[in-house]
Amino acid sequence: MFFKDQLLSKIEKLDTATREKFTRIYKINISHGKLLIPDSMISWVKSNFGDVGSVEHQEFVKIFNRITGEGSIFNELRTKRPVIVDQSLGGAKEEVEKCFGDYFANPKTSTPEDVFGRIKGKYCITASNIAKYDGFSGLIIFNDHNPLNFNAEKIADYLEVASLYFKKAHEVNPDAIYPFFAWNALWRAGASIIHGHAQVVLTEGMAYSKIDMLRRQVLDYENLHLSNYFDDIFAVHKALGLGMEYGKTRIMVKLTPIKNNEILIVGRDYGQELAKSISKVLTALKNNLGVQSFNLVIYLPPLAKTEENWSHIPYIVRIVDRGNLGNKTADIGSMELYAQSIVESNPYKAMEALRN
């Protein structure tokens, strides 16, 4: 069953309270596109797409989040479009192993350290980012060369070391209070070094613009509707078959993903519970959907009191699939940067992967 059919069927069955939440947060539109295939292309179309009719008559599901301004356009036919693939590349494991012994293999001698020194965990160690993008811009370098060799215990250690990094940086500069955690897994996700690592940043003045924008949007929603935004979107996602509780966290396959297979995790506890949920999602994406590269970020509350209100913001994890490592075609283009994201994945297949 196509995403459109699954989604509309679920929407029809929403109870009154959940339907009210859905309509005040989301807007959905189904549109159509037609084209004519010349006889000279029929063989090629059948070879690549399987069916001429589905190419000549296409359907688009457009979903818009009225609160955050996020929007996505779903067209599953695009999953079949031809892309340029580097045939010289092997599997993820083989390509990663080729780069064993890079700069991060010996971090104590091949990377700079922060002014407060290094923090060593059981499965990682910190370094200072040599080309910083903020005052405190550090690295968590994994013991594992392959960033896809993760589990809940290792991820919990990365998060603990990140927390200690933020604390140490804040002690050096008490004005630096806004933490940010990012993990770009392999080159499709923007990693310049193959060896497994994450980035930790502590900024001052205000949280990064997109994070603070979300904070303000959610606060406006709660003031207007006297209802918690994250409770409401979880209620909607769960009712639509795209949300589940896992331990003390909530996991959602986003209705308005920035790109394919975007997963949202929210929770009030930082540490083991969050690590378990992150590990569950990443394992499902890797093992069940064949994800080889991903971006993962964590939005965290400030380390000190602020003038602005953060009480309504939980720990937020966003994870997105960045595609096949061999693809030479970029997955993000002008539409994603300046208009609305085009999504080729089916959220229900991602949800099925999470449940298995």
Residue 3 lies in a domain: no
Residue 214 lies in a domain: yes
Single-letter amino acid, residue 281: V
Q: How many residues does the chain have?
A: 356
Residue 10 lies in a domain: no
DSSP string, 158-178: HHHHHHHHHHHHHHH-TTEEE
CATH number at residue 168: 3.30.428.10
Closest CA to 158 of 114, 196, 118, 123: 123
Phi, psi of 172 (to 5 degrees): -70, -40
Closest CA to 198 of 138, 266, 135: 138
CA pair distance 318, 264, nearest whole angstrom: 5
Residue 60 lies in a domain: no
pTM for the full predicted model: 0.94
Q: List the structure tokens of 251.
A: 């996991």
DSSP string, 53-116: HHHHEEEEEEEEETTT--EEEE-GGGGGS---B-TT---HHHHHHHTTT-GGGSHHHHS--BTT
CA pair distance 26, 65, nearest whole angstrom: 5
- What does DSSP say about strands 57-65 and 71-74: parallel, antiparallel, or unpaired? antiparallel
Residue 149 lies in a domain: yes
- What does DSSP say about strands 294-299 and 176-185: parallel, antiparallel, or unpaired? antiparallel
Residue 102 lies in a domain: yes
Domain around 172:
16-25+88-356
Residue 82 lies in a domain: no
Q: List the structure tokens of 356.
A: 């298995």
Per the structure, how many domains does the chain have?
1
Q: Identify the DSSP state of 120.
A: B
Closest CA to 259 of 333, 328, 196: 333
If phi > 0 it is left, if psi is from -120 to 50 it is alpha, else beta; for residue 163 that is alpha
Residues 84, 328 contacting (CB under 8 angstroms)? yes
Residue 303 lies in a domain: yes
Per-residue pLDDT of the chain (356 residues; tens, 9 = 90+): 689 999 999 999 999 999 999 999 999 999 999 999 999 999 999 998 988 999 999 999 999 999 999 999 999 888 776 655 554 545 666 777 777 767 899 999 999 999 999 999 999 999 999 999 999 999 999 999 999 999 999 999 999 999 999 999 999 999 999 999 999 999 999 998 999 999 999 999 999 999 999 999 999 999 999 999 999 999 999 999 999 999 999 999 999 999 999 999 999 999 899 999 999 999 999 999 999 999 999 999 999 999 999 999 999 999 999 988 888 888 999 999 999 999 999 999 999 999 98
